[in-house]
Amino acid sequence: MYADADVALVLHAVVPARGVRGRLGDAFREDREIREGILVSDRLAEAVLHAEEPLLRVSPLLFFSILVARVRRDLSLRRFTVEGVGRRVAVFDAGAALALLTKPHVFDYLVLLLVSFVHVRWVTLAVVDDRGRPRSLRFDTLDLDRLIQAAALAAEPERYSAYQRVADLCLFTIGVFPERLRATGGRSAAAVRAEWIDNGARFYRLASRHRTAHELRMDGVLAELADNFNLAAKPLNVLSERYLWRAGRPPFLP
């Protein structure tokens, strides 16, 4: 799961004595409770989050694991979150957001979702044209309309990944870049946001029902995200506002 270089950096940051690092390294990999306790260490935050160009020092997996773990701690100290575009509104749902993030499968999913947006921008998908002929479609994974089109055209085996990516983009955008959902085409920013929420929940539901989700044992977490889509965005809102933008520009995307 975590690269050896990541584990070595973690142990060097949090354990001064070399003699116990080997045993703790195994525990970090194998014991979730120990790992999550280490991930919120202030020593580790100092070594990684305050470093210049942190994603050049550690893997995206470790970087976002630290951030999501810290967000979970932050939510335990809050009573409310904020939501909306432009005009922000306080919502007293921090406890519910924390309860969702405390579930290991949701925690892991949000970490991997963030990792998935670090590098991959263009992908090629096998689709079927109007005459039933197979062809390839190359598209931008940050273009929601194009993604929805690809999901509609995708060959059956490819639909799971297309459905999931549509939903992931909606959750990522609402959570990390909500300011991108501006008023357009005569619609208010609130209406645009509501549409993205509806698309996210709907496509997570479609992905959860695909046979590939059952084979990968992803149907449960995808269905839970469909049921709690807006709530699942709240930890990402906190992560974006408190950590990603503190240094100005986030470590991914132009």
Per the listing, tokens 């909500």 go with: 178
Residue 226 lies in a domain: yes
Residue 108 lies in a domain: no
Q: Report whether 195 contacts 148 (CB < 8 A).
A: no
Tokens of 188: 């208010």
Domain count of the chain? 1
- Say which DSSP state 245 is in: T
Residue 48 lies in a domain: no
Residue 11 lies in a domain: no
pLDDT of the chain along its 254 residues, tens only? 888 899 888 988 888 766 556 678 888 889 999 999 999 999 998 888 887 777 778 899 999 999 999 999 999 998 878 776 666 666 778 899 999 999 999 999 999 999 999 876 677 777 766 677 777 777 777 889 988 988 888 888 889 999 999 999 999 999 998 888 876 777 888 888 999 999 999 999 999 999 999 999 999 999 999 999 999 999 999 999 888 865 444 444 43
Tokens of 110: 């949000």
d(CA 223, CA 214): 11
The residue segments making up the domain with residue 167 are: 122-233
Residue 139 lies in a domain: yes
Per the listing, tokens 């959570």 go with: 175
Residue 196 lies in a domain: yes
Say if residue 83 is exposed, middle or buried (CB neighbours under 10 Å; 0-12, 13-18, 19+).
Answer: middle
222-233 pLDDT, tens digit per residue, is 999 999 999 999
Residue 33 lies in a domain: no
What's residue 246's pLDDT? 52
Tokens of 118: 């670090």
160-170 pLDDT, tens digit per residue, is 999 999 999 99
145-162 burial, b at 16+ Cβ within 10 Å, e below that, comes to: eebbbbbebbeeebbbbb
d(CA 42, CA 40): 6
Residue 52 lies in a domain: no
